[in-house]
Amino acid sequence: MYTRFDRNAARKRRHLRIRSKIKGTPERPRLNVFRSNLHIYAQVIDDTKGHTIASASTLEKVFDNMEGRLTVAKAREVGRLVAERAIAHGVKKVVFDRGGYRYHGRVQALADAAREAGLEF
């Protein structure tokens, strides 16, 4: 019997494997990235309390005037926004959680923009 390869299930397995090794603390929370076909989301999470400290996504009103669907430019802007919001809450250092995605394209653009905006990871 032929079984079809499920990319999202494989990504979830990779993410669980990564999450078993990465934990966000109050001093160094986790910068989590989720990517869908239409949007990209980023959250800074303190795993000890289970609280989201800062978040940004392409669903926000800021992105309504930007042309096109999801692009690297929008991912860069999400990275800048989440970094500014995290720094406003007193977070300078984070642990990057790529969510099982390859460090390439939109995920890499988000991470680079967050670094340029002042986050250390």
CATH of the domain at 43: 3.30.420.100
Domains identified in the chain, total number: 1
User: What local confidence, expressed as pLDDT, does residue 93 receive?
Assistant: 97
Q: Tell me if 2 is assigned to some domain.
A: no
State residue 68's pLDDT score. 75
Judged against a pLDDT cut of 90, whether residue 7 lies above it is answered with yes
Give the pLDDT of residue 21.
Answer: 94
pLDDT band at 58 (very low <50, low <70, confident <90, very high): very high
Mean pLDDT, to the nearest integer, of 29-46?
96
Percent of the chain beyond pLDDT 90? 88
**What's the CA gap between 2 and 75, in Å, rounded?**
37
CB-CB contact of 18 with 98 (8 Å): yes
**What residue numbers bound the domain in which 13 lies?**
7-117
Residue 76 belongs to some domain of the structure: yes
CA–CA separation, 23 vs 66, rounded Å? 34
CB 86 within 8 A of CB 110: no
The answer to whether 102 and 35 have CB atoms below 8 angstroms apart is no
Does residue 1 lie in a domain region?
A: no
* pLDDT computed for residue 66 by the predictor: 82
- What is the reported pLDDT for 65? 85
Q: Is residue 17 in a domain?
A: yes
pTM over 0.95: no
What pLDDT is attached to residue 3? Answer: 85
